[in-house]
């Protein structure tokens, strides 16, 4: 992003309107076709994150006739610190304090999906305004406007004017840790110094994806922990915490980034209420159903004689809460236990239930 001062021609929307008006009225020789200009950026949103002003807007892609923009297209960000702020785009474009030009080759560096997030440090803004340092910007109100410029000559219509009062950003949270728990991902951090009554917001992005504009916390937090229950199993996520200022759209810089993948290593509870009865020449087992939300099925184990190793009777999980063992011999003492398994990959298996003991009497 380079800095330059521009003398801008009349906005493309004005030129286009003049051409349309020229086509009205009495008949005459055919007029040349309307010229195509870059599509305008409709609106800018702004916020202050620490010592940066971040401008967000849709990534330009086409001209007014739908054709793609040329490789030499650039985005011009116009800024003024004049107060009162310009009310009309034409007044703004004719006399900006500063213009930053972003060549198309650099747009990817600001890409956040289909939008561009352009961060400008307060130190750079102060230097551009010939102020001693960023501290002298305190209390200033900055106004921004964007033009899309093709070939150095063809300008889009101007965006809406975005005016933004600078704030004194709070210090960022200290440290940051993340823990995988059964309910989701638990984040924790420390308050900045000096300790005070801070409020926090949490931002989450998928690994390799853009950081969204809106936090995942529906309301600001007053504690230094947050449990993300919406994290999807197997997906890697990255989080930052910020301290929220009392001013609108004013936040601290990011905390240390916290990253984790939610994995399920938490088995269901062991089944309860296992009972065994002799029934029609077999031993029938039944137990109470588990209430774990991720329950996938049950496994039944048997031990003979009270001291033998457990043998798995159901390699394929069963989903019912009963099982009939017909492979039994009279006079043998059988012990049974049941486990529960979830649907994780690989599945997590609970510990064994309390055993149920039964002996088949008489002939088989």
Give me the residue spans of the domains in the chain.
2-165, 174-261, 272-359
pTM: 0.71
pLDDT digits (tens, 9 = 90+) for 257-267: 999 999 999 99
Task: Enter the tokens of residue 303.
Answer: 């031990």
Q: Which of 245, 56, 57 is nearest to 165 (CA)?
A: 245
Residue 240 to residue 224: CA distance in whole angstroms: 12
Average pLDDT over residues 283-303: 96
Domain 174-261 has CATH 2.60.40.10: yes
Q: H or E segment at 12? A: helix 12-22
Residue 48 to residue 166: CA distance in whole angstroms: 7
Is the pLDDT confidence value at 12 over 60? Answer: no
Are domains 2-165 and 272-359 of this chain identical in fold? yes
More confidently predicted of 80 and 195: 80
Average pLDDT over residues 282-286: 97
Q: What is the pLDDT at residue 31?
A: 55
Residue 216 CA, distance from chain mean position: 7
Is the pLDDT confidence value at 308 over 90? Answer: no
The pLDDT confidence band at residue 56, using thresholds 50, 70 and 90, is very high
Is the pLDDT confidence value at 131 over 60? Answer: yes
Q: What is the pLDDT at residue 33?
A: 57
Handedness of CA 334, 335, 341, 346 (dihedral sign): negative
Q: What is the DSSP letter of 94?
A: H
The pLDDT confidence band at residue 9, using thresholds 50, 70 and 90, is very low
Average pLDDT over residues 287-295: 94
Residue 353 CA, distance from chain mean position: 41
**Which residues touch 33 (CB under 8 Å, ≥6 apart)?**
none
Q: Which range, of 20-29, 187-196, 320-329, averages the lowest pLDDT?
A: 20-29
Domain 2-165 has CATH 3.40.50.2000: no
Q: Across the chain, what does the average pLDDT equal?
A: 88
pLDDT digits (tens, 9 = 90+) for 178-209: 999 999 999 999 999 876 789 999 999 998 88
- Say if CB 173 and CB 191 are below 8 A apart: yes
Counting every residue written for the chain, the total comes to 364
Average pLDDT over residues 61-83: 95
Neighbours of 301 (CB within 10 A): 18
Place of tokens 């008489």: 362
More confidently predicted of 105 and 18: 105
Topology classification of domain 272-359? Immunoglobulin-like (2.60.40)
Residue 1 to residue 323: CA distance in whole angstroms: 71
Task: Enter the tokens of residue 321.
Answer: 């809460």
**Which residues touch 123 (CB under 8 Å, ≥6 apart)?**
51, 133, 134
pLDDT digits (tens, 9 = 90+) for 337-346: 999 999 988 9
């Amino acid at each position: 992003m380079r800095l330059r001062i521009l003398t801008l021609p009349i906005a493309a929307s004005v030129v286009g309107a003049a051409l349309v008006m020229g086509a009205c009225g009495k008949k005459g020789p055919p007029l040349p076709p309307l010229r195509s200009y870059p599509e305008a950026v409709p609106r800018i949103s702004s916020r202050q994150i620490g010592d940066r002003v971040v401008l967000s807007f849709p990534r330009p892609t086409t001209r007014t006739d739908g054709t793609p923009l040329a490789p030499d297209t650039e985005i011009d960000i116009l800024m003024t610190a004049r107060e009162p702020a310009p009310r009309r785009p034409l007044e703004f474009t004719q006399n900006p304090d500063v213009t930053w030009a972003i060549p198309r080759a650099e747009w990817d560096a600001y890409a956040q999906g289909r939008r561009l997030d352009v961060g400008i440090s307060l130190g750079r803004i102060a230097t551009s305004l010939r102020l001693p340092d960023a501290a002298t910007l305190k209390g200033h109100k900055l106004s921004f406007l964007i033009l899309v410029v093709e070939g150095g000559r063809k300008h889009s219509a101007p965006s809406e004017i975005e005016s933004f009062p600078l704030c004194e950003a709070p210090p960022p949270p200290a440290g940051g840790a993340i823990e995988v728990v059964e309910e989701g991902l638990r984040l924790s951090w420390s308050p900045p110094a000096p300790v005070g009554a801070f409020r926090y917001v949490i931002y989450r992005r998928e690994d390799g994806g853009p950081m969204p504009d809106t936090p995942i916390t529906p309301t600001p937090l007053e504690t230094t922990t947050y449990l993300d229950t919406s994290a999807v199993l197997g997906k890697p996520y990255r989080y930052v915490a910020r301290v929220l200022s009392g001013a609108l759209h004013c936040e601290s810089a990011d905390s240390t980034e916290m990253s984790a993948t939610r994995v399920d290593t938490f088995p269901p509870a062991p089944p309860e209420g296992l009972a065994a009865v002799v029934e029609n020449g077999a031993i029938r087992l039944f137990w109470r159903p588990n209430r774990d939300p991720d329950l996938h099925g049950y496994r039944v184990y048997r031990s003979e004689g009270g001291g033998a190793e457990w043998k798995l009777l159901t390699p394929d999980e069963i989903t019912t809460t009963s099982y009939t063992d017909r492979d039994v011999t009279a006079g043998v003492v059988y012990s049974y236990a049941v486990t529960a398994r979830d649907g994780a990959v690989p599945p997590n298996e609970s510990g064994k239930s309390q055993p149920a003991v039964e002996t088949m009497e008489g002939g088989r």
